[in-house]
Chain A
Amino acid sequence: MKKTNKPIAFNALALIDFELGEKPITVLHLGLVMIDPEARSQGLSWILYGLTCVFLFLRNQLRPIWVSNVTQVPAVVGMVGDTFSETYPKPDSGNRRTLTHLLIARQIMADHRHVFGVGDDAEFDEDRFIIQNAYTGGSDNLKKTFAQATKHRSDKYNNFCKEELNYKRGDDVIQLGKIDLNATRRFLTNDVPRGSLLGLTVAGLWILLNRLALPILYWSDNKREWNSLRPYKND
């Protein structure tokens, strides 16, 4: 959108770094999203929730990125479940909680709960991936009743939240998934308006050219070096 003076919406993603099995890992946390009430019918959701993730995936040379989300809003639970791959929990999907899901969730809850404003006194239910009494660490003003929380078009997500979360206490669900090629395909086919597909494709190809195609080209050219990237063999 062309920039004028009035900011109307934002999404703040947070990068969470830690070690998993002695290897460094970065989890992309889907952070705070806010939309000016007057702009809520303008179809900004795909920009705020998925676009940046897809660009980061392309910049990461198509390597999958783990994504985390903490919410009590059924519409957001559904958006994450429908978009990202291997998401847990995702109701009625058959998706399992793997050991990797569990280890990542434990790390996030042990050392990074300040990222999403959850206090030390909140308890993490590892079996259900529910954070009990979550609105205690700076996010207190975001606590909603079930009636206030925006619903998803699919009742499976609404029913999941209603049954699993105690809204009076202030529970959140923590979801973990991945942005990968399948998630990108789902985003492009299900979420992006047709009128924006061409522009998005050009932007995506530009990122891939910079982050993937050109480095491969320079790597394979043994006549000239390009910055710190050495060619695959020297004459």
Chain B
Amino acid sequence: MGTEELSKLRQDLTTIATTTLSKDMLDYGVFSNKSDALTRSIITIVYEKNQ
């Protein structure tokens, strides 16, 4: 994935996490600050169905 796509993916994951968590954000796995956090990850993401 390109830098722009990765950035959008991170943004979408954060959107879901902030909606879901009542407490502070997580800082491990795909939410880790390490640059290679997504390198060995397979993400399935669901978007709202268009009505």
Contacts and interface: CB of A to CB of B under 8 A. Distances in A.
Contacts of A32: 26, 29-30
Interface string A7-37: 1111111111100000000000001101111
A141 B24 contact: yes
Interface residues of B, number: 29
B3 interface: no
Contacts, number: 112
A10 B46 contact: yes
A5 to B, nearest CB: 8
A115 interface: yes
Nearest to A119: B28
Interface string A65-109: 000000000000000000000000000000000000000000000
Please name the 3 residue pairs, one residue from A and one from B, whose CB atoms are nearest each other, closest first.
A138-B28, A117-B28, A7-B12
6 contacts: A2-B50, A7-B16, A8-B46, A14-B29, A37-B19, A115-B29
Given A4-B50, A6-B48, A115-B28, 11 more contacts: A2-B49, A13-B42, A14-B42, A17-B40, A36-B16, A39-B46, A117-B26, A117-B28, A138-B32, A141-B25, A141-B26
